[in-house]
Amino acid sequence: MNLTLVAEQALNGLQLGVMLFLLAAGLTLVFGIMNLVNLAHGALYMVGAYLAAYFFGLTDSFPLAALLAVAGTLVVGMIVELVALRTLYQRDHLDQVLATFGLILFFNELVAILWGRSSIYFALPPWLSGHVELAANLRYPLYRLLIIAVGLSVAGLLWYVVARTRLGMLIRAGASNRAMVAALGVDIRLLYTVVFGFGAALAGLAGVLAGPIYAVQPGMGELILIQVFVVIVIGGIGSIRGALAGALIVGMVDTLGRAFLKPVLSTVVSPTAADAAGPALASMLIYLLMAAVLAFRPEGLFPSRGS
Amino acid sequence: MITSRTWVLVAILLLLAAVPPVAALLHEPFYLDLLRRVMIFAIAATSLNLILGYGGMVSFGHAAYLGIGAYAVGVLAHHGIDNGWLQWGLAIGASALVAAAIGSISVRTSGIYFIMITLAFTQMLYYLGVSMTEYGGDDGLRLKVRSQFSGFIDLNDPTSFYYLVFAILVLFLYLTHRLVNSRFGLVLQAVRSNEARTRAIGFSPYPYRLAAFVISGAMCGLAGALLANQTAFLTPEFMNWTRSGELMFMVILGGVASTAGPLLGAATLLLLEDMLQGWSVLPKWVNDHWQLYLGVILVLVVLFARRGLAGLLPGKERDD
């Protein structure tokens, strides 16, 4: 296999990893701070994608549509937190899993009512749809490079906010001892709503970015959500560093596995056996990875210090 | 001692037993089919309740065993082996083996990690099912002949099949009841309520939890074999994670750690789904978008009905 193909697939893996990170960051923050298992996080990603498609149709400007969609998802996330999730923080994980499972059904059907069940595609504006020549023979889509850039900048920004600002200090304090933070006069309920909205906006951003390259359809959130759970379990639940490491690992392993497992296998076993086992093994790879990580490091690669 | 709760359960079971003659009288064979489906899911939910309710192990991958049981029947039938004893035996055995393998790793973890690892293993099995092109892959497999029990019982007769499922349900409810009140069950519940204290009085939780996990998987495997015969069709969707979520919801809706709970939960969820989808009394916008309303009902149940439907029954399940 040639080097160009490997480089291209590695970039694809990086792009998927960055996308997973945008989702995992919000999910892991919400879990680390509010101790909430939110299955409906994928639904917010879907809402982001639909809003982007809708606003793009209205305004015909991708940046404006992206901005409106992220803001819209933030509002939807805050409403969900206020109406349904707020009372669940003190409950056990079982109740949280079920209530957010109910929210998934609700949102999937809601977008089906508003925009129909068939998938919608929105074409990229011409200035984003070109290719960039990165090296000889390696032309890579500009839009996917943009996703990587946006994702990495968000990761940097997130690190700055959490590690260097007052809000970040409150977030970290809330994760390690909520009662103490509340006793010091911080409005913990408001903090939770803000953090949840923040996580929702990140999920919405991932949805906006995903819109032009994946199919926008009801249920799109669940396909990626399970991968995101694998990411945060591998990284260590509650840890943003872990989410970044986990997302990049899962993105790479999944993409490279799908691209190269079959050819690699066929050098070892017969081509027919590789044909049969390759795709199955490739889809199972990240779950095998997760089981292996949990067997050796039950708290994930970067256990969070809070809680 | 026979409590008022037991009477409620007996009354429900008597009602279920009376369904075939009533359905025949009303010329509505559809209800026979619907309630058989309810009972099959009640068996699966009962098996989940053993580990989720009594063992405190929130398995988010219980649909795996439904799938294994169904595939045991489907794969053997695909190769021309229609013998029901063999098919169902394989369904139970294979489910127990897989549960032992999954359990040996996941039972060591707890809390959210247990939820996620059981989910991950079920996803692996799901993708395995999707990739088995010989057995239909994504599209699934049609069961040409239902399991054959050479004269003992004919599953093609809806009423006999119904009573067989009914008998298995009653047997499993009874077995679960005996199991959770045995020494084994008491240790299992002790581990759920306080692991440290249970260790301190000299019990190692691991073998008890693992044994419960395997028993539960084997029971659910049989439910899978029944489900394959019920639908005469199987797909990897049997193992979809939403199916695991539904099973969990049945247990919660009915009331965790109660004997009648899973049956009540399965009946309520499936009948509710059927009503929202098919009842022409309801306006068309409800029929078309029933999942929207189901989702709202689910959230409301979790928020406000904390002990499930069994919590509304008279008396208490136990004194804890």
Domain span holding position A62: 3-217
Instruction: Using CA coordinates, name the residue in chain B closest to A93.
Output: B112
Chain-chain contact of B292 with A101 (C-beta, under 8 angstroms): no
3-state secondary structure of A36: coil
Q: Please, which residues bridge with residue A132 across strands?
A: A140
**Binding-face residues of B in 10-49 toward A, CB within 8 A:** none
Distance CA B222, CA B161 (A): 14
Per-position pLDDT tens, chain B of length 320: 567 778 888 888 998 888 888 888 888 888 888 999 999 999 999 999 999 989 989 898 999 999 999 999 999 999 988 888 999 999 999 999 999 999 988 888 887 888 888 988 898 899 888 888 888 888 888 888 888 888 788 888 888 899 999 999 999 999 999 999 999 999 999 998 888 899 999 899 999 999 999 999 999 999 999 999 999 888 888 998 888 988 998 888 888 878 888 999 899 889 888 888 877 777 777 777 778 888 888 888 877 776 677 776 666 555 34
Which member of B123, B127, B295 has the closest CB to residue A102?
B295
Identify whether A232 is part of a domain.
no
Token pair, residue A281, equals 């093994």
Residue for token digits 């002790």?
B190
B109 touches chain A (CB under 8 A): yes
Residue A120 lies in a domain: yes
Q: In 3D, which of A105, A292, A217, A29 has the Cα closest to residue B300?
A: A105
Are the Cβ atoms of A102 and B111 closer than 8 angstroms?
A: no
Using CA atoms, how far residue B2 sits from A261, B49, B140, B214, in Å, is: 61, 22, 46, 30
CB B131 within 8 A of CB A280: yes
pLDDT-based confidence at residue A307 (cuts at 50, 70, 90):
very low
Nearest to A108 among B116, B119, B291 (CB): B291
Coil, helix or strand for A120?
strand
Residue A306 confidence (pLDDT) above 50: no
- For the segment A21-38, the average pLDDT, to the nearest whole number, is 87
Q: What's the one-letter identity of residue B222?
A: L
Rounded Cα distance between A99 and A37, Å, is 10
A25, A48, A96, A260, B69 from A214: Cα distances, Å: 21, 13, 29, 22, 35
Q: Which of residues 165-204 of B touch A (CB under 8 A)?
A: none
Q: Which structure tokens are listed for B26?
A: 């009303």
Residue A305 confidence (pLDDT): 58
- Number of neighbouring beta carbons within 10 Å of residue A137: 12
Which pLDDT does position B47 carry in this prediction?
A: 95
CB contact under 8 A, A226 and B294: no
Q: Which of B275, B233, B244, B292 is nearest to A117 (CA)?
A: B292
Diameter over CA atoms, chain B: 61
Asked whether residue A110 is domain-assigned, the answer is: yes
Question: H/E element holding A231?
Answer: helix A220-235
Provide the pLDDT for residue A117: 82
Q: What is the pLDDT of residue B317?
A: 54
Tens of pLDDT, residue by residue over A65-124, are 999 999 999 999 999 999 888 888 888 888 888 888 888 888 998 998 898 888 887 778
**From its phi and psi, is residue B310 left (phi > 0), alpha (psi between -120 and 50) or beta?**
alpha
- Asked if residue A182 belongs to a domain, the reply is yes
Is residue B165 within 8 A of residue B171, CB to CB? The reply is no
Give the residue from chain A lying closest to B104, CA to CA: A295
Cα gap B168→A186, rounded to integer Å: 57
Q: Of B278, B282, B281, B260, whose CA–CA distance to B270 is shortest? A: B278
Pick from A95, A230, A279: which is nearest to B302 by CB? A95
How far are the Cα atoms of A158, A217, A300, B129 from residue B133, in angstroms, in the given order?
44, 26, 35, 8
How many whole angstroms separate alpha carbon B264 and alpha carbon B90? Answer: 29
Q: Is B291 on the interface with A (CB under 8 A)?
A: yes
Which candidate from A103, A110, A298 shows the least CB-CB separation from B113?
A298
> End-to-end alpha-carbon separation of chain A, Å?
47
Flag if B299 and A99 touch (Cβ within 8 Å): yes
Q: With CB atoms and an 8 Å threshold, state whether B302 touches A102.
A: yes
- Is residue B245 within 8 A of residue B60, CB to CB? The reply is yes
Q: B234: which DSSP letter? A: E
Can you give the pLDDT at residue B320?
A: 40
Q: Which residues of B touch A299 (CB under 8 A)?
A: 113
Q: Which residue of A has its CA nearest to B119?
A: A226
Determine, yes or no, domain membership for A235. no
pLDDT value of position B319:
39
Measured between CB atoms, does B305 come within 8 Å of chain A?
no
pLDDT averaged over every residue in chain A: 86
3-state secondary structure of A133: strand
- Cα separation, A307 vs B8, in Å, equals 44
* Mutate: best of A90, A98, A234, partner B, most B CBs <10 A: A98
- Measured between beta carbons, the chain B residues lying within 8 angstroms of A287 are 120-121, 123-124
Q: With left for phi above 0 and alpha for psi between -120 and 50, is residue B59 left, alpha or beta?
A: beta
Please name the residue that has the structure tokens 């809390």.
B111
Is residue A138, in this structure, part of any structural domain at all?
Answer: yes
- CA contacts within 13 A on the Cβ side of B183: 1
User: What tokens does A294 get?
Assistant: 């949990």
Interatomic CA distance for residues A30 and A195, integer angstroms: 7
> 3-class SS at A83?
helix
DSSP code of A306? -
For residues B50 and B208, the answer to whether their CB atoms sit within 8 Å is no
Distance from CA of A168 to the nearest CA of B (A): 25
Interface residue of B248, B286, B302, B306 to substitute, partner A, most A CBs within 10 Å: B302
Position B315 scores a pLDDT of: 61
- How many Cα atoms within 13 Å fall on the side-chain side of residue B99? 31
Per-residue pLDDT at A3: 81
DSSP type of residue A216: B
Q: Which helix (H) or strand (E) holds A246?
A: helix A240-268
Report the 10 Å Cβ neighbour count for B211. Answer: 17
SS3 A1: coil
The rounded distance, in Å, linking the Cα atoms of B85 and B150 is 10
Is residue A33 a part of any domain in this protein?
Answer: yes
Number of domains in chain A: 1
Q: Which stretches of chain B are DSSP H helices?
A: 4-17, 19-26, 29-49, 63-78, 84-106, 111-131, 158-180, 183-193, 195-200, 205-231, 241-254, 261-278, 284-288, 290-304
Contact criterion met (CB below 8 Å) for B296 and A102: yes
B46 neighbors B177 (Cβ within 8 angstroms): no
A111 close to A215: Cβ distance less than 8 angstroms: no
Q: What does the alpha-carbon distance between residue A19 and residue A48 come to, in Å, rounded to a whole number? A: 13
- Residue A142 covered by a domain: yes
Helix (H, G, I), strand (E, B) or coil at B319: coil
Give the pair of three-digit tokens for residue B102.
Answer: 């999954």
- 8 A C-beta contact, residue A147 and residue A18: yes
In chain A, the percentage of residues whose pLDDT exceeds 70 is: 98
